[in-house]
Amino acid sequence: MNLKDFFNAERKRVFEPDAFFAQRVIARVNERLDAARVQDLGFWDIIPSSTRPVLAIALMLILCFVAAEMFVPQMPQSGMVESFLAPEQSPAESFLYNDTDVPSQDVLQQLIAPEEQ
């Protein structure tokens, strides 16, 4: 047998589609379209309709809380006048921490020396 006979034999070997082939293809096309549609869905489409109002209220409350935290100023523990009148430091502490008018070592020595004499 030569190649020509082989090719002739190959020509006769053909599969035919069955009666339901078109339906199977359309079913796969629909399946693919449904999958594509699921990918295109937004946030609210994925959540079941029964859960949506609850979730919406929860989200609203969270947003209100965040807004209140951001925009409403916080009341300080004591007012300006009160904090001025009632300082946290005692006068002795204040002298220790805040007195910057400390004389130099030489001046101190001069001041201390007459007392020792």
Partner 1 sequence: MEFDRELIVRAQSGDRSAHEAIVNQFSAMVFRLISRFFRTREDVEDIAQDVFLKLFARIGQVRPDENFPGWLARVTVNTCYDELRKTRRRKEAMETYGPEMVGEQTVAPREPDSLGKARLALQRLDPKLRIPLVLKEVEEMSVEEIAKTMGLTQTNVKVRLFRARKKLQSMLGGTEEHSK
- Which residues make up the interface to partner 1 (CB under 8 A)? 1-7, 9-11, 13-17, 21-26, 28-30, 32
Say how far apart CA 108 and CA 106 lie, in whole Å: 5
Q: Closer CB to partner 1, residue 28 or residue 52?
A: 28
CB of 38 to partner 1, least distance (A): 17
Q: Which residues contact 86 (CB under 8 A, 6 or more apart)?
A: 78
Q: Closer CB to partner 1, residue 13 or residue 68?
A: 13
CB of 58 to partner 1, least distance (A): 39
CB of 45 to partner 1, least distance (A): 20
Q: Closer CB to partner 1, residue 3 or residue 72?
A: 3
Distances (CA, A) of 46 to 36, 37, 42, 62, 84: 14, 11, 7, 21, 58
